[in-house]
């Protein structure tokens, strides 16, 4: 896209042609009252457009040159009218470029010069209408310039606000994607690690269980690839998106973890996608922790769909065998779950419960609509 300064020579040429050509017509109509155009008149008519060529680089000096040439042309009694095109442009541009004090100062000087010319430089008394007309024209130019400037500034502010909002949304999307990737990888890699350790431990003494562990590894690796593809497809415009993991996949999740999981739902109803996804990830992280730190434990997942919140509880009975990964882990599982709950305006608590561990979360959901009262018939 070209810079506006590249059009300055074209603007100067257009204004020069317009002022010279139209001034010749004005001279024909004012031959009885004004001096005919001569070399000096043409030089003054071209001085303003010439200054417009460098107007963007030297705003105030070029404006002074344009206005000075216009003052001289007017006081020398040359035909009036088209010569005021260049000064109108420079005053308008000064306002739009944010040089309002200079613009209004030069406009005031211009008004004084033209009023003085009407009373001192003209042979006839111009009258009140002449003074009002000049004042109204200059004020009109300045007010219109101010209005255009306000509209442009407001539009620029709206554009900046839109760009800031787009950056904010992009940042939130990146954070969401990073969190999704973390949860997907942490869960499935931990599960693969646990099952691989189990398979290595049982491959000689109990091949059937080792085979089951290897099958779980195969399923988990396929699942992680599928979920990674689903998350990363967001980066590709127009790419198909797989359904996001939700609470309807808890049974499938429990099967992959190789845990004895009981799921209890009370008052189940559809949830907003962000709540459904967050609840699933909390359950997923909780089951991952059980698989890593409490192998053999029985797990109960309780989902209570209240009027305005989802109460989610994951409770395990404690390890029955030595944990494989008790000394491993990033330690970000529970903080990550708390962040997910807090992002939705909910809460999450985690801690020992009897011989096991319990994770409890409360996530706000849209309230149920009030039942429509039945009409008496």
Tokens of 1: 């896209």
Q: How far is Cα of residue 263 from the mean position of the Cα atoms in its chain?
A: 41
pLDDT in tens, 283-329: 988 888 888 788 788 899 999 998 889 999 999 988 877 665 544 55
Residue 348: what are its φ and ψ, rounded to 5°? -145, 135
pLDDT in the model for residue 11: 80
Q: Residue 121 — very low, low, confident or very high, per pLDDT cuts 50/70/90?
A: low
Tokens of 219: 């399923």
pLDDT of 108 higher than 70: yes
Strand order in the sheet with 356-364: 260-266, 298-305, 309-316, 356-364, 347-353
pLDDT in tens, 242-289: 446 788 888 877 777 778 888 899 988 888 888 988 898 899 888 888
Share of the chain above pLDDT 70, in %: 80
pLDDT in the model for residue 18: 87
pLDDT in the model for residue 373: 54
Q: Contact 196/167 with Cβ under 8 angstroms?
A: no
**For the chain, what is the largest distance between any 2 Cα atoms, rounded to a whole number of angstroms?**
123
Q: Annotate 26-56 with b (16+ C-beta within 10 A) or e (fewer).
A: bbeebeeebeebeeebbebbbbbbbbbbbbb
Q: Give the lowest-confidence range in 20-29, 197-206, 343-352.
A: 197-206
pLDDT in the model for residue 332: 67
Mean local confidence (pLDDT), 39-65: 87
**Long-range contacts for 338-343 (Cβ within 8 Å, ≥24 apart)?**
339/179, 340/179, 340/278, 340/281, 340/282, 341/278, 341/282, 343/278
Q: 87-96, 123-132, 363-372: which has the highest mean pLDDT?
A: 87-96
The DSSP 8-state label assigned to residue 302 in this structure reads E
pLDDT of 76 higher than 70: yes
pLDDT in the model for residue 109: 92
Q: Contact 277/283 with Cβ under 8 angstroms?
A: no
Please tell me the distance from the alpha carbon of residue 346 to that of residue 362, in angstroms, as a whole number: 5
Residue 317: what are its φ and ψ, rounded to 5°? -90, 0
Tracing tokens 């406009």 back to the chain, one arrives at 107
- Which position has the higher pLDDT, 295 or 185? 295
Please tell me the distance from the alpha carbon of residue 367 to that of residue 214, in angstroms, as a whole number: 44
pLDDT in the model for residue 37: 85
- Which position has the higher pLDDT, 260 or 1? 260
Q: Give the lowest-confidence range in 73-82, 131-140, 175-184, 227-236.
A: 227-236
pLDDT in the model for residue 377: 42
Identify which of 122, 143, 49, 54 has the alpha carbon closest to the alpha carbon of residue 87: 49
Please tell me the distance from the alpha carbon of residue 57 to that of residue 62, in angstroms, as a whole number: 9
Please tell me the distance from the alpha carbon of residue 125 to that of residue 121, in angstroms, as a whole number: 10
364: three-class secondary structure by DSSP: strand
pLDDT in tens, 190-209: 667 666 776 777 677 777 77
pLDDT in the model for residue 122: 62
Q: Annotate 290-325 with b (16+ C-beta within 10 A) or e (fewer).
A: bbbbbbbbbbbbebebeeebbebbbbbbbbeeebbb
Q: What pairs with residue 313 in β-bridges? A: 302, 360
pLDDT of 1 higher than 50: no
pLDDT of 57 higher than 70: yes
- Which position has the higher pLDDT, 44 or 369? 44
Q: Residue 238 — very low, low, confident or very high, per pLDDT cuts 50/70/90?
A: very low
Please tell me the distance from the alpha carbon of residue 325 to that of residue 323, in angstroms, as a whole number: 6
In the chain, alpha helices (H)? 8-29, 39-52, 59-75, 85-96, 100-116, 128-202, 207-232, 250-257, 273-293, 333-343
pLDDT of 147 higher than 90: yes
Q: 59-68, 208-217, 227-236: which has the highest mean pLDDT?
A: 59-68
Q: Residue 360 — very low, low, confident or very high, per pLDDT cuts 50/70/90?
A: very high
Q: Residue 211 — very low, low, confident or very high, per pLDDT cuts 50/70/90?
A: confident
Please tell me the distance from the alpha carbon of residue 45 to that of residue 269, in angstroms, as a whole number: 79
Please tell me the distance from the alpha carbon of residue 74 to that of residue 327, in angstroms, as a whole number: 93
How distant, in Å, are the alpha carbons of 182, 188, 235, 243, 289 from that of 224? Answer: 11, 6, 18, 14, 17
pLDDT of 114 higher than 60: yes
- Strand-strand pairing, 356-364 and 260-266: unpaired
């Amino acid at each position: 896209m070209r810079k506006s300064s590249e059009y300055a020579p074209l603007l100067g040429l257009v204004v020069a042609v317009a002022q010279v050509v139209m001034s010749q017509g004005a001279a024909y109509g004012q031959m009885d009252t004004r001096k005919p155009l001569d070399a000096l008149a043409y030089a003054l008519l071209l001085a303003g457009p010439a200054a417009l060529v460098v107007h963007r680089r030297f705003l105030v000096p070029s404006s002074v040159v344009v206005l000075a040439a216009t003052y001289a042309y007017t006081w020398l009694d040359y035909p009036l009218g088209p010569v005021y095109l260049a000064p109108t442009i420079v005053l308008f541009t000064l306002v739009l470029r944010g040089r309002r004090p200079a613009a209004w100062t030069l406009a005031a000087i211009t008004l004084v010069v033209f009023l003085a010319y009407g009373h001192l430089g003209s042979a006839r008394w111009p009258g009140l209408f002449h003074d009002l007309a000049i004042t109204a024209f200059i004020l009109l130019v300045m007010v219109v310039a101010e209005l255009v400037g306000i509209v442009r500034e407001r539009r620029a502010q709206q554009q900046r606000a839109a760009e800031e909002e787009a950056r904010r949304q992009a940042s939130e999307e990146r954070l969401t994607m990073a969190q999704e990737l973390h949860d997907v990888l942490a869960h499935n890699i931990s599960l693969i690690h646990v099952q691989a350790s189990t398979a290595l431990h049982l491959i000689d003494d109990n091949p059937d269980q080792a085979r089951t562990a290897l099958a779980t590894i195969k399923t988990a690796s396929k699942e992680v690839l599928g979920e990674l593809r689903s998350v990363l497809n967001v980066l590709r415009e127009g790419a198909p998106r797989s359904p996001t993991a939700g609470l309807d996949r808890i049974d499938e999740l429990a099967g992959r973890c190789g845990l004895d999981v009981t799921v209890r739902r009370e008052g189940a109803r559809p949830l907003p996608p962000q709540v459904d996804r967050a609840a699933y990830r909390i359950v997923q992280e909780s089951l991952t922790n059980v698989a890593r730190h409490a192998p053999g434990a029985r797990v109960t997942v309780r989902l209570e769909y209240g009027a305005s919140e989802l109460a989610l509880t994951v409770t395990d009975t404690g390890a029955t065998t030595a944990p494989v990964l008790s000394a491993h882990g990033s330690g970000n599982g529970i903080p990550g779950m708390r962040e997910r709950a807090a992002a939705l305006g909910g809460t999450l608590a985690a801690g020992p419960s009897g011989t096991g561990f319990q994770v409890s979360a409360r996530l706000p959901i849209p309230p149920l609509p009030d039942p429509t009262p039945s009409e008496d018939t």
